[in-house]
Amino acid sequence: MKNIILCLALFVSILFSIPLPVQASQFSDIPDGHWARESVDFMVKKGVLSGYSNGAFRPNEAIDRAELTVMVHKLFNKLRPNLTPSYPDMKILKFEDVPKNHWAYQPLMEMYSADALGVVDWFGSKIYIYPEKKVTRWEAMFIFQSFFSQKMHQVPDDQVLQILAGIDDITLQSFDSTGYSSPYPGSAAVDLIKSDEYTISYSHLDTGEILFANRGIDALKAYALAWLVGNDIMSTWGNELEIHDPLTRAEAVVMLHRTYNVLLADGSLSTYTSK
| DSSP code per residue over 86-148 | SSGGG-----TT--TTSTTHHHHHHH--TT-TTT-EEETTEEE--TTPBPBHHHHHHHHHHHH
Q: Which pLDDT value is given to residue 53?
A: 74
Q: Over 80: is that where the pLDDT of 191 sits?
A: no
State the average pLDDT over residues 137-162.
Answer: 95
pTM beyond 0.95, yes or no? no
Q: Which pLDDT value is given to residue 23?
A: 45
* CA atoms within 13 A of residue 212's CA, in its CB half-sphere: 17
**H/E element holding 204?**
strand 199-204
pLDDT band at 55 (very low <50, low <70, confident <90, very high): confident
Q: Which pLDDT value is given to residue 132?
A: 98
- Nearest partner of 40 among 272, 260, 259, 257, judged by Cα: 257
CB within 8 Å of 223: residues ≥ 6 apart: 145, 149, 152, 153, 155, 160
Least confident of 128-132, 180-184, 203-207: 180-184
Least confident of 69-73, 100-104, 209-213, 258-262: 209-213
State the average pLDDT over residues 185-209.
Answer: 68
**H/E element holding 190?**
helix 188-191
State the average pLDDT over residues 40-68.
Answer: 92
pLDDT tens digit sequence for 74-119 = 999 999 999 999 889 999 999 999 999 999 999 999 999 999 999 9
Strand order in the sheet with 171-174: 171-174, 199-204, 210-212
Name which residue leads in pLDDT, 232 or 196: 232
Task: Tell me the average pLDDT of the chain.
Answer: 86
Q: Which pLDDT value is given to residue 188?
A: 46
Q: Over 80: is that where the pLDDT of 26 sits?
A: no
Q: Over 50: is that where the pLDDT of 13 sits?
A: no
